[in-house]
């Protein structure tokens, strides 16, 4: 089981973008997957839609901490049996042994921020059987990352996911699955990762609950910059 996830959000400048992506897909990801415990990798290109961003700004609270990097154009995900895989060696320790090419390519990332998560709950949706290759998340991925505004609201958030949001996802058309995550490292304490068969299906079929309990819980969250991000998996390609 893949209960550990290492997530990195970042932007890229236009110049050298194609070269970087070729290196990431053809060199870096295969090398990473050769490490003990690394089970899968998924590289996601996120979408930017002005209407969607305006709606997020209207409904959600985002952190005003300028120390939290704001990259959001791409999302790199790795999966492992548990988060310890990503801490032995740690990301900083791995950087010490990077090649010159690795350092140059990583240096192209702008506004990069990372979290290492452990999964504490998961549901499979109606399309769970389509997850491939292996345990790799579905072709469309939305992930929200956030802290909560008060410790006393933690239990209610967890029970709301368990009692309301996750059971509904099990029945949503096009849903591959969803994972509740908590962080071992990184700014966000909590995350929710939704997997879908396609962006079109996610936009059409993923609906939130029009109830006061849902509005209250969403209102208690302080999101990372740009959260939730939504994008298509470009490596491995869908289909």
What pLDDT is stored for residue 182 in this prediction? 98
pLDDT of 227 reads 98
Per-residue pLDDT at 31 exceeds 90: yes
Angle 109-110-115 (CA atoms, 0-180°, nearest 5)? Answer: 80
Report the alpha-carbon distance of residue 177 to residue 171 in Å, rounded.
Answer: 10
Per residue in 96-140, pLDDT (tens digit) is 989 999 999 999 999 999 999 999 999 999 999 999 889 999 999
DSSP string, 67-85: TS----SEEEEEEESSGGG
| Mean pLDDT in residue range 17-32 | 98
Mean per-residue pLDDT over the chain, rounded: 96
Does residue 89 have a cis bond before it (omega within 30 degrees)? yes
* Residue 118 belongs to domain with CATH number: 3.30.70.100
Phi, psi angles (nearest 5°) of residue 26: -100, -25
Spatial distance between the Cα atoms of 199 and 156, rounded to a whole number of angstroms = 30
Q: How many structural domains are present in the chain?
A: 1
Q: Is the pLDDT of residue 163 over 90?
A: yes
pLDDT tens for residues 177-192?
999 999 999 999 999 9
At residue 19, the pLDDT reads: 98
Q: Which residue has the higher pLDDT, 87 or 239?
A: 87
- pLDDT-based confidence at 51, cuts 50/70/90? very high
Q: What's the pLDDT score for residue 238?
A: 83
Whether 202 contacts 47, CB under 8 Å: no
Looking at residue 86, the DSSP 8-state letter turns out to be G
Cis before 236 (ω within 30): yes
pLDDT at 239 over 90: no
Question: What are the tens digits of pLDDT across the range 1-10?
Answer: 899 999 999 9
Tokens 């194609």 belong to residue: 18
| pTM of the predicted structure, to 2 decimals | 0.97
User: Which DSSP string corresponds to 3-48?
Assistant: -EEEEEEEE--STTHHHHHHHIIIIIHHHHHTSTT--EEEEEEE--
Tens of pLDDT, residue by residue over 194-226, are: 999 999 999 999 999 999 999 999 999 999 999
Question: Percentage of residues in the chain with pLDDT exceeding 90?
Answer: 96
Domain that residue 93 falls in: 4-235
């Amino acid at each position: 089981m893949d209960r550990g996830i290492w997530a990195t959000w970042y932007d890229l400048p236009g110049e050298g973008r194609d070269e970087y992506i070729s290196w990431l897909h053809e060199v870096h990801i295969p090398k990473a997957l050769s490490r003990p415990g690394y089970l899968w990798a998924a590289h996601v290109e996120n979408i930017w839609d002005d209407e969607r961003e305006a709606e997020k700004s209207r409904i959600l609270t985002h952190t005003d901490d300028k120390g939290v990097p704001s990259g959001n154009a791409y999302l790199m995900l790795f999966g492992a049996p548990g988060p310890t895989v990503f801490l032995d060696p740690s990301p900083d320790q791995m950087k010490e042994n990077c090649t010159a090419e690795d350092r140059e390519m990583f240096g192209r990332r702008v506004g990069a921020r990372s979290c290492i998560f452990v999964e504490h709950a998961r549901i499979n949706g109606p399309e769970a059987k389509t997850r491939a290759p292996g345990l790799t998340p579905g072709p469309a991925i939305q992930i929200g990352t956030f802290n909560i505004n008060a410790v006393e609201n933690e239990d209610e958030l967890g029970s709301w996911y368990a009692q309301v949001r996750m059971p509904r996802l099990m029945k949503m058309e096009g849903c591959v699955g969803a994972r509740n995550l908590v962080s071992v490292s990184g700014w966000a304490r909590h995350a929710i990762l939704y997997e879908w068969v396609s962006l079109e299906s996610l936009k059409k079929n993923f609906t939130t609950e029009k109830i006061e309990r849902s509005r209250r819980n969403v209102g208690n969250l302080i999101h990372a910059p740009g959260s939730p991000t939504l994008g298509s998996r470009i490596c491995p390609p869908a289909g």
